[in-house]
């Protein structure tokens, strides 16, 4: 069964009125849907009676020289994916519908938006939080479902919802990967065969770091950095942007002596393509640290 497609605010409002008080889960996307998005939709179906997907390439989160113009736009294919997954409602606004005028007021991502990924993409998270706030206000979901691959984005959305008292529950879903470990991303289609081989160094670095989590944060970072250093000499090379071990809530860096959860985050460019990845760890007080998941299964492809 095909989903109802709303392209205007009026069409969305009419569709939302028919839903009344049924629990609704929203999966915000920029389209080019892949298996990772399907896993988000399936999780949404488990927790709500009605599932909505938004498809909108948000210009506010792209900086100068980034890939806004070439970002894949595959609405017809995306609608077929939504139909396959039993989505009830798709909100697919145009730029003029989403932003009737250039926004003077935007949501600030604050300190958290200016560190780690934010250092390399200034203003990116302000754009993300602004469009997510608009979508939450327009769709009024009970739940909003996001992937854990964008770990800093997820942490910021959760903080925004808490700080601004937005009436929605944020649900995170595990990263879905290719069998070789590469995290699924709409940008993977940009990669040539040779670039894709180099891109595997990101997940390899995370595996190497997770494998030494029992020896503490410094060992984790050294092991992961060693893989990235080798990839920087590959053909084509990886151009690393950052490698950090951070608190999953605040995204501040953690060091030896840290106990509790942490996230090892990495990003880099292969050719013109920017890719990110992460893995969650947990360090205990009894030993220098312990991985929350055995390295052999850290990157198993999972569906929620």
Residues marked as catalytic: 37
Residue 35 among known ligand-binding residues:
yes
Question: Is 152 flagged in the annotation as binding?
Answer: no
How far is residue 248 from each of residues 186, 239, 263, 293, measured CA to CA in Å? 24, 25, 6, 16
Known binding residue 185? Answer is yes
Q: Is 79 annotated as a binding residue?
A: no
- Residue 176 among known ligand-binding residues: yes
| Residue 304 labeled ligand binder | no
Q: In Å, how far are 65, 147, 244, 302 from 260, measured between CA atoms?
A: 38, 22, 16, 24
Tell whether residue 215 is among the known ligand binding residues: no
Does 243 belong to an annotated binding site? no
Q: Is 61 annotated as a binding residue?
A: yes
The tokens describing 199, both together, are 């891109």
Q: Consult the annotation and say whether 186 binds a ligand.
A: yes
244 is an annotated ligand-binding site residue = no
Which residues make up each annotated binding site for beta-alanine?
A: 61
Which residues make up each annotated binding site for ATP?
A: 30-37, 147-150, 176, 184-187
Which residues make up each annotated binding site?
A: 30-37, 61, 147-150, 153, 176, 184-187
């Amino acid at each position: 069964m095909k989903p109802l497609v709303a392209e205007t605010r009026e069409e969305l409002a009419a569709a939302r009125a028919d839903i009344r008080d049924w629990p609704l889960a929203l999966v915000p996307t920029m389209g080019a849907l892949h298996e990772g998005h399907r896993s988000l939709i399936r999780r949404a179906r488990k927790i709500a009676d009605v599932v909505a997907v938004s498809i909108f390439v948000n210009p506010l989160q792209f900086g100068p020289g980034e890939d806004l113009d070439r970002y894949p736009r595959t609405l017809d294919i995306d609608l077929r994916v939504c139909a396959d997954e039993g989505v009830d409602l798709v909100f697919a606004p145009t730029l003029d519908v989403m932003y009737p005028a250039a926004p003077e007021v935007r949501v600030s991502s604050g300190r958290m938006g200016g560190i780690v990924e934010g250092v390399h993409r200034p203003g990116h998270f302000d754009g993300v939080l602004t469009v997510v706030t608009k979508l939450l206000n327009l769709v009024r979901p009970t739940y909003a479902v996001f992937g854990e691959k964008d770990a800093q984005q997820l942490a910021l959305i959760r903080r925004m919802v808490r700080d601004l008292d937005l009436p929605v529950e944020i649900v995170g879903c595990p990263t879905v990967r290719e069998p070789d470990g590469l995290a699924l991303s709409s940008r993977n289609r940009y990669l040539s065969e040779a670039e894709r081989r180099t891109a595997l160094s990101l997940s390899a670095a995370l595996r190497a770091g997770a494998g030494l989590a029992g020896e503490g944060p410094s060992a984790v970072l050294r092991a992961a950095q060693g893989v990235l250093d080798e990839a920087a000499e590959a053909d084509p090379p990886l151009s690393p942007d950052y490698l950090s071990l951070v608190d999953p809530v605040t995204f501040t860096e953690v060091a030896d002596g840290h106990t509790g959860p942490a996230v090892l985050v990495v990003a880099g460019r292969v050719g013109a393509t920017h890719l990110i990845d992460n893995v969650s760890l947990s360090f205990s007080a009894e030993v220098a640290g312990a991985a929350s998941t055995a390295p052999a299964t850290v990157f198993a492809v999972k569906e929620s």
